[in-house]
Amino acid sequence: MESHRLNRRLFVAGLAGSPVLLAQQSVVQDPPPPSKRPPIHEQPPFEEPLAFQRKDAARRVKPFLMSQVRLLPGPFQQSAEWNRAYMNWLGVDRLLHNFRLNAGLPSTAEPLGGWEAPKSELRGHFTGHYLSACALRWASAGDAEMKARGDDMVSELASCQAKLDAGGYLSAFPTELFDRLDQRKGVWAPFYTVHKIMAGLFDMYRHAGNKQALAVAGGMADWADRWTASKTEPHMQEILKSEYGGMNEVLYNLAAETGEDKWARAGDRFSKKAFFTPLAQRRDELRNLHANTHIPQVIGAARRYEISSDPRFRDVADFFWSTVAGARTYATGGSSNAEAWLTDPGHLSLEWKASTHHQECCCAYNMLKLTRHLYEWKGDARYFDYYERNLLNHRLGGIQPETGHSIYFLSMAPGAWKTLNTPDKTFWCCTGSALEEYAKLNDSIYYQDGEGIYVNLFIASELDARERGIRLRQDTRFPDEPRTALTVAETPSSAWTMRLRVPQWASHAAVKINGRQLEGMAEGGSYLSVERVWKRGDRVEMELPMRLTSEAMPDDPTVQAFLYGPIVLAGDLGAQGLTESLIRDRQGPETARAPMEVPTLKVSGKELTEWLRPDGSAPLEFRTSALGQDLAFRPLNRLWQRFAVYWNVA
């Protein structure tokens, strides 16, 4: 929060026994800018070899453990259940098949297909995601069956590692793929896959207490340490041109957890200097880079800053986030096109027109993850304006009801549709990210600092902040209803502060405590802070009125999307021309195979409320006759047929 234009006003509500309100106001409409320090890096910041020293950076706010927050019935819990159904359908034996064969152990399981097929160079990546999801299911929902599956898999993977007997190496493919990587011969992305397996094992340790998982991951870290230490730095920088996921992040996580600095030094070998240098100097040179190759590297940089306090890594993460969230993100919260950034920053309409494969889901997943890091450092509510947009529009609607199958791209092309994986013959990167995403939807609803609790997201849930003697229950049907209510179920006798996030879109938010309206209100994009001696049963009700808004492309005011509060509304264009083969096992909509003419919206100069009216039959549903025929606009996150989010407006 150090450099934002920040006004503070003190409101003292004139109610008997009333809470004291400290409304922190920050009046900037854009995403949080990078800190405006003078350019401290006159020399290229990563020219010298890196020298890791542990020194933890201060964090303004801290998350709760995943196990302290439970979802209550609502759209988020429902998505979690659909995901769980898909996890349950997949059998452990099939996920371990290639690992066993690679280790010379017998397996009679039916092989999986797609990116997990026995000859795929990415085989094993999804098994890593699955391990993470098992750990997250246990932590987020107390799912003992999924924990048991995860424990079984860890034990089997430990046997594979022991049988391989190759200095800790563990994978579903042989080290020959790493030989090819070393020789810069064609190979897909072996470190990407190894990262997923290591992250899955680390999650089984971190979220599910499995010590064997930590030992297996440590063995893999030792192997990666030796492999990378045997290369010269220039050669290693060449190797880093191949996608390697978050190898740096998982090695830093292991180092932080165990105190083994050697793994942090191994993590440093995964610092791609040609990518980090311009970011640390606050230059956006992302054009033509593959998006999801690079976002995880920045998450690793954020983690490096947290465990070393090295400001170069903070600047990398800070600037990257600002330019992607601020200048390369669609109204839905996603970024990328055809997996890359195809233009200079701020040219989103050119990017939009360049292909139909916008917004890879892994990018959305990883940007949420990066946002959590930056938010912890700064405690700025505006990070959650971005987070909420992404979560509600891109992630909530990215999982198919009942089946738990999920999407790859969320296309913004007019007449686009969502495309889905097959149950056992696809296994894209995004299928793996989805498995984790929907196993952790309780994440980030609440945070804490020394003074109390932050309420960031309006999701039906319970918080058990047992270390401070506080329990909260949040009842809400948000976003179907524009309000939420928090009940204090347990509280210590001393005062503490509840900080309620006031979103930027909520221009007339209002709060009642035990039925009495507070006079003060924080501005959008900040927190309303209520400090008082709370009593069991105290009830905080927050009204979050939504209104229709339009959001134009930054470089073309005639291309617009429409929102109601934080919810992106899409024109529902029906299922015309859609066949199962156009939907299933396709990464994105191939609109040329089912062309659709989407007309221009002739509403220029009209108020939104003149031409877009509430449907009345269901929440968040609207209708218009502006196209000469009746057309429904509904939340993109509910749509499973053809839609248009961005419209040409004349």
Give the 3-state secondary structure of 171-185.
Answer: CCCCCHHHHHHHCCC
User: Is 336 or 476 the residue whose CB approaches Zn ion more closely?
Assistant: 336
362 near Zn ion, rule: CB under 5 A: yes
CB 292 within 8 A of CB 336: yes
Q: Which stretch binds Zn ion (CB under 5 A): 422-430, 448-456, 531-539, 632-640?
A: 422-430
Alpha-carbon distance of 97 to 83, in angstroms, equals: 22
User: Is 243 or 360 the residue whose CB approaches Zn ion more closely?
Assistant: 360
291 near Zn ion, rule: CB under 5 A: no
Alpha-carbon distance of 68 to 467, in angstroms, equals: 10
User: Is 360 or 385 the residue whose CB approaches Zn ion more closely?
Assistant: 360
User: Is 160 or 295 the residue whose CB approaches Zn ion more closely?
Assistant: 295
Question: Closest distance between Zn ion and the C-beta of residue 273, in Å?
Answer: 25
Please give the DSSP secondary-structure letter assigned to residue 50.
P
Q: Which stretch binds Zn ion (CB under 5 A): 73-81, 329-337, 424-432, 515-523?
A: 424-432
Nearest to 453 by CA among 481, 439, 473, 479: 473
What b/e sequence results for 380-397 when a residue is b if at least 16 CB atoms lie within 10 Å of its CB, and e otherwise?
A: bbbbbbbbbbbbbbbbbb
User: Is 199 or 430 the residue whose CB approaches Zn ion more closely?
Assistant: 430
Question: Closest distance between Zn ion and the C-beta of residue 324, in Å?
Answer: 16
Question: Closest distance between Zn ion and the C-beta of residue 430, in Å?
Answer: 3
User: Is 138 or 341 the residue whose CB approaches Zn ion more closely?
Assistant: 341
Question: Closest distance between Zn ion and the C-beta of residue 557, in Å?
Answer: 32
User: Is 293 or 308 the residue whose CB approaches Zn ion more closely?
Assistant: 293
CB 84 within 8 A of CB 109: no
Alpha-carbon distance of 370 to 378, in angstroms, equals: 13
User: Is 214 or 583 the residue whose CB approaches Zn ion more closely?
Assistant: 583
Q: Which stretch binds Zn ion (CB under 5 A): 45-53, 85-93, 382-390, 425-433?
A: 425-433
Structure tokens at 538: 């105290």
154 near Zn ion, rule: CB under 5 A: no
Q: Which stretch binds Zn ion (CB under 5 A): 79-87, 374-382, 423-431, 563-571?
A: 423-431
* Count of residues that bind Zn ion according to CB under 5 A: 4
Give the number of other CB atoms < 10 A from CB of residue 501.
Answer: 27
User: Is 430 or 639 the residue whose CB approaches Zn ion more closely?
Assistant: 430
Nearest residue (beta carbon) to Zn ion:
362
Question: Closest distance between Zn ion and the C-beta of residue 161, in Å?
Answer: 27
**Nearby residues of 125 by Cβ (< 8 Å), 6 or more positions away:** 115, 116, 192, 193, 196, 197, 427, 429, 432
Question: Closest distance between Zn ion and the C-beta of residue 335, in Å?
Answer: 12
Question: Closest distance between Zn ion and the C-beta of residue 357, in Å?
Answer: 11
Alpha-carbon distance of 629 to 650, in angstroms, equals: 17
User: Is 365 or 496 the residue whose CB approaches Zn ion more closely?
Assistant: 365
User: Is 306 or 339 the residue whose CB approaches Zn ion more closely?
Assistant: 339
Nearest to 438 by CA among 381, 396, 378: 396
CB 34 within 8 A of CB 282: yes
CB 542 within 8 A of CB 548: no
Question: Closest distance between Zn ion and the C-beta of residue 588, in Å?
Answer: 11
Full strand arrangement of the beta sheet holding 539-543: 69-71, 461-465, 470-475, 483-490, 539-543, 510-513, 516-517
**The tokens 């956006």 sit on which residue?**
284
Alpha-carbon distance of 430 to 437, in angstroms, equals: 10
Q: Which stretch binds Zn ion (CB under 5 A): 227-235, 359-367, 394-402, 635-643?
A: 359-367
Question: Closest distance between Zn ion and the C-beta of residue 77, in Å?
Answer: 25
User: Is 359 or 491 the residue whose CB approaches Zn ion more closely?
Assistant: 359
User: Is 161 or 293 the residue whose CB approaches Zn ion more closely?
Assistant: 293
User: Is 325 or 430 the residue whose CB approaches Zn ion more closely?
Assistant: 430
Integer Rg of the chain from CA? 25
**Chain-centre distance of CA 254, in angstroms?**
21
Amino acid at 206: R
Site string for Zn ion, 131-150 (x = CB under 5 A): --------------------
Alpha-carbon distance of 388 to 51, in angstroms, equals: 37
Question: Closest distance between Zn ion and the C-beta of residue 339, in Å?
Answer: 8
Handedness of CA 346, 349, 354, 359 (dihedral sign): positive
Question: Closest distance between Zn ion and the C-beta of residue 254, in Å?
Answer: 24
Q: Which stretch binds Zn ion (CB under 5 A): 48-56, 255-263, 355-363, 515-523?
A: 355-363
User: Is 393 or 448 the residue whose CB approaches Zn ion more closely?
Assistant: 393
Alpha-carbon distance of 615 to 59, in angstroms, equals: 45
Q: Which stretch binds Zn ion (CB under 5 A): 60-68, 124-132, 158-166, 356-364?
A: 356-364
Q: Which of positions 568-607 make contact with Zn ion (CB under 5 A)?
A: none
**Helices 382-390/361-378 angle, 10° precision:** 160
User: Is 360 or 462 the residue whose CB approaches Zn ion more closely?
Assistant: 360
Question: Closest distance between Zn ion and the C-beta of residue 429, in Å?
Answer: 3
Question: Closest distance between Zn ion and the C-beta of residue 511, in Å?
Answer: 39
Give the 3-state secondary structure of 204-248.
Answer: HHHCCCCHHHHHHHHHHHHHHHHHHHCCCHHHHHHHCCCCCCCHH
Question: Closest distance between Zn ion and the C-beta of residue 244, in Å?
Answer: 15
Q: Which of positions 427-466 make contact with Zn ion (CB under 5 A)?
A: 429-430
**The tokens 């179920």 sit on which residue?**
489
Q: Which stretch binds Zn ion (CB under 5 A): 275-283, 360-368, 390-398, 480-488?
A: 360-368
Q: Which stretch binds Zn ion (CB under 5 A): 127-135, 178-186, 295-303, 362-370?
A: 362-370
Question: Closest distance between Zn ion and the C-beta of residue 341, in Å?
Answer: 15
What b/e sequence results for 415-452 when a residue is b if at least 16 CB atoms lie within 10 Å of its CB, and e otherwise?
A: bbbbbbbebbebbbbbbbbbbbbbbbbbbbbbbbeeeb
Alpha-carbon distance of 481 to 159, in angstroms, equals: 51
Question: Closest distance between Zn ion and the C-beta of residue 245, in Å?
Answer: 11
Given the rule CB under 5 A, which residues bind Zn ion?
Answer: 360, 362, 429-430
